[in-house]
Amino acid sequence: MDKLTISKNQRKLKYEQDFNLMWSLESSLSAIIYPLLERFRDQASRYSICGNLSEKQWINILDKMIWSHKFIVWDMADDKELKERLKLELKIPDNYNYNDLSNKANKGIKLFAKYYRGLWY
């Protein structure tokens, strides 16, 4: 754990940063994001539908976002049990093409960016 203390006008700001989390920030963030998106999707209501999308379209987009963030965690995971569990949840076949999976993940991340401001109730 790296700690940095900054003094300014006799006030101290303490900042702690775990550089292990930053080594692979995309997987650290995705590990936080995908469970929240799953919960958001499971509690989706007519109030959480984004723009002119139907509820079915919005759930489909959320599923693509969730898949993408889960894939990033799966791709970077060192834990064998986690990796196997996510592989099953993602329905990744044993003879997968990594580039195809990566392209699918990138599309979901683009959707996440596009609809980021629509993730509210």
- Judging by beta carbons within 10 Å of its beta carbon (0-12, 13-18, 19+), is residue 67 exposed, middle or buried? buried
Report which of 8, 59, 11 is spatially closest to residue 37, judged by C-alpha positions: 59
Distance between first and last Cα of the chain:
36
Distance CA 31, CA 73 (A): 6
Q: What is the pLDDT of residues 34-91, one digit of tens each?
A: 999 999 998 876 667 777 888 889 999 999 999 999 999 999 999 999 999 999 999 9
Q: How far apart are CA 16 and CA 28, in angstroms?
A: 16
Query: For 14-33, what is the mean pLDDT?
Result: 71
Strand partners, 11: 8
pTM of the entire predicted model: 0.80
For 48, which DSSP code? S
